A = this chain, B = another copy of it.
Amino acid sequence: MEIATRVWNHKWKIDPIVRSLIDTDFYKLLMCQSVFHNRPDVQVTFSLINRSHHVPLAKLIDEGELREQLDHIRSLSLTRGESTWLRGNTFYGKRQMFRPDFMEWFENLRLPPYFLERVGDQYELTFEGSWPEVMLWEIPALAVLMELRSRAVLDDMKKFELQVLYARATAKLWEKIERLRDQPGLKIADFGTRRRHSFLWQDWCVQAMSEGLGDRFTGTSNCLIAKNRDLEAIGTNAHELPMVYAALAEDDAALARAPYDVLADWHEEHEGNLRIILPDTYGTEGFLERAPDWLAGWTGIRIDSGDPERGAETAIDWWKTRGEDPTQKLVIFSDGLDEEKILELSRKFAGRVRVSFGWGTLLTNDFRGLTPDDRLAPFSLVCKAVSANGRPTVKLSDNPNKAMGPESEIARYKRVFEVGEQERRDVVV
């Protein structure tokens, strides 16, 4: 637990939170390469959205400190070692996943400017520019805000209080791992970069998972940690691809096609375990019903909103109607998981479909119950593409509480994608 000592020591000086351009999710780099080849000139705006209004970020976090952290990220460039790792490493069994033209571009990249304004007790933080550049702000921007919030709380604590806090968090994490390791056939990865408590804590959680779960721990979405700890980098694709493709559609017919166009591009670039469908952007059921047959041949489906059991049942039924054997298919759960839910889903679908888990915020930021007033509890902060070439983006999701976009556009998308009644579910993290 040197973490506590380091936390205590760095109270008095600037200590960068993000120290590397690859301290980000692996799928961001995969998607970035795809965008770089297929849509390099699209202009996008990404915005920070704090879904947890009760957390007054602008009261907790000093604007000067936030600017220092963001400015530091703009000073970063890919190091030689990082470039060598990306160029030379094997990802998902494949060498040279990242092509030379992309790597050359990445090596010369600096992140574009940010726009920061305090509005009431919240910050408005936006990023504008070409899609492949702006998209790389998402993860570091979230990680900076999450960690500055942690530090704001930790700043009030004395040295031994910090030791006890991390001691309790360590014990809590280990109890989760002990419960998980009794589950046969478990496959689980760390997806917790964006809303982690801190970089050091995430690094720590990954080591704990690795020691505690052995090869049932399949790797981490964080490239820097994967590189430093010699683990697999894990990830596939996210909502921003269909959201931006959809925003660019010229008419309703093109809009209806957009989610499949994205995957057609992806299909050409990737195979095997990277062919994972994320079906919920505009409603899972309609998406699958209208999907072309070649999509049924993909390896699996990621369930990221709505009732996860229902999502998996829908996927299994869909594969069956398309003549596929579900036991050969993969379902990846990644929405708001904690160890109880992981165990429940794992037991529920054992033998019916291959299952794996992307465990995020409640792996790397479960400080619930460890401080008075729960001031370190994780909260729901996202950073999303809100427009593309001047047009607003829309997300419907399988949970209306995760929907985004202007109301009139949401109505249009619901019509185009034939989305009916949806079940509202609380978004905790």
Contacts and interface: CB of A to CB of B under 8 A. Distances in A.
A163 B1 CA distance: 7
Contact of A171 (B2, B159, B164): B164
Interface string A203-217: 000011001100000
Contacts of A2: 1-2, 5
A158 interface: yes
A389 interface: no
A53 interface: no
A160 B159 CA distance: 22
A52 to B, nearest CB: 28
A167 interface: yes
A158 B211 contact: yes
B170 A211 contact: no
A174 interface: yes
A27 interface: no
Contact of A159 (B161, B166, B170, B211): B211
A425 interface: no
**Chain A interface size, under 10 / 10 to 19 / 20 to 34 / 35 or more:** 20 to 34
A4 interface: yes
B208 A160 contact: yes
A168 interface: yes
A160 B207 contact: yes
A168 B5 CA distance: 17
A2 B207 CA distance: 16
Given A163-B1, A211-B158, A211-B159, A171 B174 contact: no
Contact of A1 (B167, B207, B208, B211): B167
A171 B167 contact: yes
B1 A166 contact: yes
Contacts of A171: 164, 167-168, 171
Interface centre among A4, A166, A170, A207 (most CB of B within 10 A): A170
Contacts of A160: 174, 207-208, 211-212
B174 A170 contact: no
A303 B253 CA distance: 89
A203 B30 CA distance: 50
A39 to B, nearest CB: 43
Nearest to A210: B160
A319 to B, nearest CB: 39
A211 B158 CA distance: 8
Interface string A1-13: 1101100000000
A171 B166 CA distance: 9
Given A1-B166, A2-B5, A164-B171, 11 more contacts: A1-B4, A158-B211, A159-B211, A160-B211, A160-B212, A166-B167, A167-B167, A167-B168, A167-B170, A168-B171, A171-B171
Q: Which 7 residue pairs spanning A and B have beta carbons closest together?
A: A1-B1, A167-B170, A167-B167, A160-B211, A164-B174, A167-B171, A168-B171
30 contacts: A1-B1, A1-B2, A1-B4, A1-B163, A1-B166, A1-B167, A1-B170, A2-B2, A2-B5, A158-B211, A159-B207, A159-B211, A160-B174, A160-B207, A160-B208, A160-B211, A160-B212, A161-B211, A163-B170, A163-B208, A164-B170, A164-B171, A166-B167, A167-B167, A167-B168, A167-B170, A167-B171, A167-B174, A168-B171, A171-B171
Interface of A: 1-2, 4-5, 158-161, 163-164, 166-168, 170-171, 174, 207-208, 211-212
